[in-house]
Amino acid sequence: MNFSKCRVKPGSKVDLKDWDPDDKSASPGSREEDEKRLQELATRIDELQELLYAESKRGVLVVLQGMLGMWTVTLLLKPLIVVGHLLGGLTIAALSWWNLLEIRHFPRQRGSGRLRIFAGVVLIVLALQIFLGGWTSSNYAALACTDFPKCQGQWWPTIDLKNAFVLWRGLGINYEFGVLGTPARTAIHLCHRYWAAVVSTLMVALILYTLRVADAHGKRIAWCILGLLSVQISLGVSNVLGGLPLLVAVMHNAVAALLLLSVVTLLRYSTSSFNHG
Ligand code: HEM
């Protein structure tokens, strides 16, 4: 439909006599067709309005993310702030991705409640793994183990779990290069490693379940998750064995983001209606 002739140009005068009230050029179909189209457009406007509403709520998240970025520097690399910044960025990416899937009408599979719950559980487990990854990196614990699958040549090296997860140690401490002893860094490193085994097991189960119950779209998402998971584990192991090469570390972060988006895609695919609350 061409609505340009209905637009009033800035500065021009409007005279209603210039418009034909019987003009049918914007609705050339029958009355039934027009009513159907009108209904479709009303539904679409409804959806877009909801997205716009979600968009304005996200503004708060973007401001918070900017502040976390500032505090990362001014509060001298506090691990909690650094990880908050990582999780904030990924949350914004995931919500934006969800919106994009909405706008593009990415297909859904209706009536897949179990798949939805399963994808939701995997999303939470993955979020925890991302937290542990950020904690490993911000506490400079990547090189606490330089071998794999053993660590420091042992299956059970000395660890200090008590100090490993103290979230806040007060202001004024510079965290550059880390402040923890080797046993605490080893504990953090191993938690990220072992939790990766939990994530992988659950993800493989989710992939197998999706391949069993989903249609072609769902199966494609499942293969995508499998590919990303394999790449991510290889990158993690290369980080350890290669002594943390910069490119590998950056790619490990990027693939974590893609893995998150692919699980969000599966969650969206198995969610039958979008409710913004
Ligand atoms: C599902 C599997 C995994 C996910 C989602 C994941 C995710 C992440 C994330 C998000 C980070 C933080 C990156 C950053 O802040 O720069 C990280 C760091 C790290 N991950 Fe993983 N990871 C996984 C598996 C593994 C495995 C299997 C290993 C090793 C055996 C590993 C080793 C590391 C190391 C050494 C770091 C620290 C890198 C640094 O200091 O920059 N990861 N991981």
Say what the pTM is: 0.83
Q: Which residues have a Cβ under 8 Å from the Cβ of 97 and sit 6 or more positions away? A: 261, 264, 265
- 197 within some domain: yes
- Which sign does the torsion angle of CA 248, 250, 252, 254 carry? negative
In a domain, 53, yes or no: yes
CB distance 193 to ligand 1 below 6 Å? yes
Residue-level pLDDT at 273: 60
Residue type, 34: D
In a domain, 165, yes or no: yes
CA of 251 relative to ligand 1 center, distance in Å: 10
Burial of 186 (0-12, 13-18, 19+ CB in 10 A): buried
Ligand 1 atom closest to Cα of residue 130: 10
Q: How far is the CA of 189 from the centre of ligand 1 (A)?
A: 9
Does residue 84's CB lie within 6 angstroms of at least one atom of ligand 1? Answer: no
pLDDT for residue 272: 78
Q: Which domain holds residue 255?
A: 43-269
pLDDT attached to residue 2:
66
pLDDT of the chain, 277 residues: tens digit per residue: 567 777 888 888 888 888 888 887 777 678 888 888 888 888 888 877 877 777 776 788 888 999 999 988 888 889 999 999 999 999 999 999 998 998 888 999 877 899 999 999 999 999 999 999 999 999 999 999 999 999 999 999 999 999 999 998 888 888 899 889 999 999 999 999 999 999 999 999 999 999 999 999 999 999 999 999 999 999 999 999 999 999 999 999 999 999 999 999 999 999 976 444 3
- pLDDT at res. 149: 97
| pLDDT at res. 277 | 37
Output the CA torsion 189→195→196→201 (10° steps): 160
> Which of 143, 252, 258, 260 for a ligand 1 pocket mutation test, highest count of atoms within 8 Å of Cβ?
252
- The finding on whether 72 has its CB within 6 A of some atom of ligand 1 is no
| Residue 34 covered by a domain | no
Alpha-carbon torsion angle 179, 181, 186, 188, nearest 10:
-40
Instruction: Please measure the distance between the N-terminal and C-terminal CA atoms of the chain and give it in whole angstroms.
Output: 33
Ligand 1 in contact with 190 (CB < 6 A)? no
SS3 labels along the chain: CCCHHHCCCCCCCCCHHHCCCCCCCCCCCCHHHHHHHHHHHHHHHHHHHHHHHHHHHHHHHHHHHHHHHHHHHHCCCCHHHHHHHHHHHHHHHHHHHHHHHHHCCCCCCCCCHHHHHHHHHHHHHHHHHHHHHHHHHHCCCHHHCCCCCCECCECCCCCCHHHHCCCCCCCCCCCCCCCCCHHHHHHHHHHHHHHHHHHHHHHHHHHHHHHHHCCHHHHHHHHHHHHHHHHHHHHHHHHHHCCCCHHHHHHHHHHHHHHHHHHHHHHHHCCCCCCCC
Give domain status of residue 184, yes or no.
yes
The verdict on residue 139 lying in a domain is yes
- Best mutation site among 189, 199, 239 for ligand 1 pocket (most ligand atoms within 8 Å of CB): 239
Considering the domain boundaries, does residue 5 fall inside one?
Answer: no
Q: Tally the domains of the chain.
A: 1
Distance 33 CA to ligand 1 centre (A): 55
Contact 92, 62 (CB under 8 A): yes
CB 90 near ligand 1, within 6 Å = no
Ligand 1 center from residue 98 Cα (angstroms): 24
**Phi, psi of 151, deg, nearest 5:** -130, 125
- For the Cβ of 136 lying below 6 angstroms from any atom of ligand 1, the answer is yes
Q: Which of 263, 198, 272, 268 is nearest to 224 (CA)?
A: 263
